[in-house]
Structure 1
Amino acid sequence: MLIILGGLPGVGKTSIARLAAQELGAIHLRIDTIEQAVIDCGVVPSDEMGPVGYVAANRIATDNLRLGHLVIGDAVNPIELSRAAWREAAIIADKPFVQIELICSDVDEHRYRVETRKGDIENLKLPDWQKVCDREYHPWPDVDLVIDTAAQSLCASSDILVGFVRKKIASI
């Protein structure tokens, strides 16, 4: 199964994806890691990244899904085009998918997280609060689950995700 994870920077996607990947034994594909590797190799300048990271991640997801692995796609997924590409990766591999959006409904908490978080990818410049606010992000009408990380721990949010995915897998 492919877990398509999305949400604005700073809502907790990567932290929750890591916890869930450990619990589920899943492969964690993080767009930030792929895109920064492409930038560091001088292949594409950061301001011209376009879909490169997403396309690479989608192909890696398909390969791992074909091998029978559970995969978590960790990306902002701001528009329908990026979400559809993840779904297509699962369809090509003939595997099911779920779409999970993470939000932080408390604006002050979200801002605090964005302004205080530490990066763990060499050379990656994290967006500031203004860039998060200015980022294009479209509603996700066909999402399977929305997890609000504002009033609960990362562990609690991960537990919700893991429980949801386990129920979906059991129903297949």
Structure 2
Amino acid sequence: MLIVIGGLPATGKTTLSRLLSTRLGAVHVRIDTIEQAIVRSGLARQPIGPAGYMVGYALAAEHLRQGLGVVAESVNPLAVTRDAWREVGVKAGVPVAEVEVVCSDREEHRRRVTSRSIDIPDLRPPTWQEVVDREYEPWDRGRIVVDTSGQTPEESLGVLLRSLDQDKLEIRTIG
């Protein structure tokens, strides 16, 4: 299975993706990690364009071919990136679930953006204004929406797992 998790910075994507990957025993493919590794290599500077996503698609496809589940996490702001993730799953012949993580409480979201710590070396977090101004196309198809506002990461995980189960995606948890 391929679970694609997108949403604006500081909505809780990484935390939720890590929890979900651990619960499912799936591989977590994080575009921020890939992009920053490319930057650290000296081959590019931010923003690097589609290169990080292309590497992510290839890694996800390889893991899926090996029979592993994948949680792919990125801002995923454009329809073209969402379509590309879906195509990875279709070509691998696996179910694809698309998830948008939101934080509907604007003040909570702002607080998260301005106070979070970054766990990727040398990655500069966006400012609140950069998050607000970021290009982010509306979704044009069904997806699971998880609003992390006012709940713990574990509560958000529970919401997501129940939604995935309702979509009959054969969720098997570990432990």
Q: TM-score range by the shorter chain?
A: over 0.9
Instruction: Give the Cα–Cα distance (whole angstroms) in 1 for the partners of residues 145 and 56 of structure 2.
Output: 22
CA contact (8 A) 1:36 1:124 kept: yes
Post-superposition, which runs of at least 4 consecutive aligned residues in structure 1 deviate over 3 A?
none
Kindly report which structure 2 residues correspond to 1:129-144, keeping only aligned pairs within 5 A, or say none: 129-144=128-143
For 1:46 and 1:122, locate their aligned partners in 2 and report how far apart those are by CA, in whole Å.
14
Q: Which residue of 1 aligns with 2:14?
A: 14
| 1:53 paired residue number | 52
What CA distance in whole angstroms lies between the structure 2 residues aligned with 1:166 and 1:159? 10
Task: Give, in whole Å, the separation in 2 of the partners of 1:118 and 1:143.
Answer: 32
Q: How large is the Cα RMSD of the aligned pairs?
A: 1.2
Return 5+ residue gaps in structure 1 as ranges: none
- Work out the CA distance in 2 between the residues paired with 1:86 and 1:55: 10
For 1:132, the aligned partner's letter is: V
Seq. identity, %: 44
1:123: which partner in 2?
A: 122
Could you tell me which amino acid in structure 1 is paired with residue 85 of structure 2? Answer: W
Instruction: State how far apart, in whole Å, the 1-side matches of 2:21 and 2:165 are.
Output: 12
SS at match of 1:142: coil
Give secondary structure in 1 for the equivalent of 2:58: helix
Q: 1:164: how far off?
A: 2.7
What amino acid is the match of 2:16?
Answer: I
1:1-172 matched pairs, under 5 angstroms: 1-47=1-47, 49-167=48-166, 168-170=168-170
C-alpha contact 1:100 1:143 (8 A) present in aligned 2: no
Q: Aligned partners of 1:143, 1:26: CA distance in 2, in Å? A: 23
Alpha-carbon offset, residue 67 of structure 1? 1.1
> How far apart, in 1, do the equivalents of 2:120 and 2:80 lie?
26
Q: How far is the alpha carbon of 1:5 from its aligned partner?
A: 0.5
Matched letter for residue 57 of structure 2: N
Deviation string, structure 1 residues 112-147 (Cα, Å, up to 9, x no partner): 000000000001001010100010001113132101
What is the number of equivalent residue pairs in this alignment?
Answer: 170
- Structure 1 stretch 86-95 or stretch 128-137: which is displaced more? 86-95
In the alignment, the residues of structure 1 paired with residue 121 and residue 143 of structure 2 have an alpha-carbon distance, to the nearest angstrom, of: 33
> 1:169: how far off?
2.3
